[in-house]
Chains A and B, each alone.
Chain A
Amino acid sequence: MLEALLVAAAGIVLAFGANLVSPRGLALTRNYFPAGISRPVPAARDVANTNAPAPSSAQLLAARLKEQGLQTVDGRQAAQLFHDPRFQQGGIEFIDARDEQQYRQGHIPGACEFDPYYPEKQLATVLPICQAAEQIVVYCNGGDCDDSESAAITLRDVGIANRKLFVYTGGLPEWITNGLPVEIGGRNSGNLRTTNK
């Protein structure tokens, strides 16, 4: 038993040290989930105790975003904003809140990469773009993904006006399903692909 305690103590100390020196290590004092830590299993609803139909995940998401004071756009509105002439002039910006690998595999054409878990990586680039924009559409993978929510809150925390921020709840999967173009690689790479409906 004493040996187990020794292993536990040494392991914890070494683990803290390894996390500290690891370039991918977590910052212990950073709140990675500004929208809140608590995230009950979406599945955990007791259907037997209610006659009312259970809210859909889209309704739950909309309610949660509203609680955070964030506005939402659906697929049709996101497409309208994409085709709006102001998008070409920088008046409307799309922000991709997924990680770098996913971003490079395909994103909304012209969207800026902004991973809310490593904001220091892109904030210097994204911030002036967001400050200049009139409307900012933040998205991730739709469904249960709440990285767009975290990104929007992070942007709001650094001074972007709340009225400018919109969360595209359907995210990239819905965008692709709607047959809209996707850009591969870096921002404005010009490598566009369209998946037909």
Chain B
Amino acid sequence: MNTGQLSWSRMAADTFAVLARWLLGAVFLYLGLNKALHPVEFLKLVRQYDLVQSWLLLNSIAAILPWFEIFCGLLLLAGVAVRGTAVMLIVMLVPFTVLVFRRALAIQSALAIPFCAVKFDCGCGTGEVFICRKLLENFFLILFSVWLLAGYGRKLCVRHTLMSCIAKTSLIKEGRSNGSI
């Protein structure tokens, strides 16, 4: 009975993790495409954050980020290098969330409105959004990424862990070379 319950809950967790991986992949693919199709609009939005003073750097950020998101989305959908991709998503999502939060605070202080009433285009690929909704969305995206980083969502993966494959290949090569000696 206990074993049956355990296997059922394990199966449910696995299924949910796979769905979370697909959802995360689809979200990043969608957001990346929205930006990649309107690069100048995205460039203008990145500029609003006043992050860099060099236009070469600004152009590079606006040019790379959408396609990088598409790349990560595709990796997650296919199930390739899932944990490495999850790390990259966290590396992107956490600073983005901080930046969006700071900008929202600035808008709130100027307009003297409640924080959750702040609505602006954060350059996230979804147009104008209410800040509280955006922060909640990002919280869940980070949560899913951490979950995938913990090793869940291995089912239906083309190559969940890239490094084990590389390590195996080098071990085989090493074995062959030892054998030939």
Given contacts A15-B71, A26-B63, A4 and B87 within 8 Å (CB-CB): yes
Q: Tell which of A27-35, A75-83, A170-178 binds the partner.
A: A27-35
Tell me if B59 counts as interface (CB < 8 A to partner A). yes
The answer to whether B75 and A43 have CB atoms under 8 Å apart is no
Q: What residues of B have a CB within 8 angstroms of the CB of A52 in the complex?
A: none
The distance from the CB of B92 to the nearest CB of chain A, in whole angstroms, is: 10
Chain A positions 18-40 with a Cβ under 8 Å from a chain B Cβ: 18-19, 22, 24-33, 37-40
The distance from the CB of A122 to the nearest CB of chain B, in whole angstroms, is: 15
Q: Tell which of B34-42, B127-135, B136-144 binds the partner.
A: B34-42
The answer to whether A41 and B111 have CB atoms under 8 Å apart is no
Tell me if A158 counts as interface (CB < 8 A to partner B). no
Q: What residues of B have a CB within 8 angstroms of the CB of A38 in the complex?
A: 50, 53
Tell me if B93 counts as interface (CB < 8 A to partner A). no
Number of A interface residues in the complex (CB < 8 A)? 39
Given contacts A14-B71, A33-B55, A37-B47, A117 and B60 within 8 Å (CB-CB): no
Tell me if A7 counts as interface (CB < 8 A to partner B). yes
Q: From DSSP, what is the main secondary structure of chain B's interface residues?
A: helix
The answer to whether A32 and B63 have CB atoms under 8 Å apart is no
The answer to whether B55 and A15 have CB atoms under 8 Å apart is no
Whole-angstrom CA separation of A8 from B91 in the bound complex:
10
Given contacts A3-B81, A24-B39, A16 and B71 within 8 Å (CB-CB): no
Q: From DSSP, what is the main secondary structure of chain A's interface residues?
A: loop
The answer to whether B68 and A32 have CB atoms under 8 Å apart is no
Tell me if A124 counts as interface (CB < 8 A to partner B). no
Q: What residues of B have a CB within 8 angstroms of the CB of A32 in the complex?
A: 40, 43, 55, 59
The answer to whether B163 and A2 have CB atoms under 8 Å apart is yes
The answer to whether B50 and A39 have CB atoms under 8 Å apart is yes
Tell me if B72 counts as interface (CB < 8 A to partner A). yes
Tell me if B110 counts as interface (CB < 8 A to partner A). yes
Whole-angstrom CA separation of A169 from B65 in the bound complex:
32
The answer to whether A29 and B81 have CB atoms under 8 Å apart is no
The distance from the CB of B157 to the nearest CB of chain A, in whole angstroms, is: 13
Given contacts A28-B59, A32-B43, A37-B58, A7 and B72 within 8 Å (CB-CB): yes
Tell me if B52 counts as interface (CB < 8 A to partner A). yes
Indicate with 1 or 0, residue by residue over B48-67, a CB within 8 angstroms of chain A CB atoms.
Answer: 10101111101110111111
Can you pick out 29 interface pairs between chain A and chain B where the beta carbons lie within 8 Å of each other? A2-B84, A3-B81, A3-B83, A3-B84, A4-B91, A6-B81, A7-B72, A12-B68, A14-B67, A15-B64, A15-B67, A15-B68, A18-B67, A19-B39, A22-B39, A24-B36, A24-B37, A26-B59, A29-B59, A30-B59, A32-B40, A32-B43, A37-B52, A39-B47, A41-B48, A41-B106, A41-B107, A117-B40, A118-B40
**3 A-B pairs with the lowest CB-CB distances in the bound complex, closest first:** A43-B110, A3-B84, A15-B67
- Residues of A bordering B, CB below 8 Å: 1-8, 10-12, 14-16, 18-19, 22, 24-33, 37-45, 99, 117-118
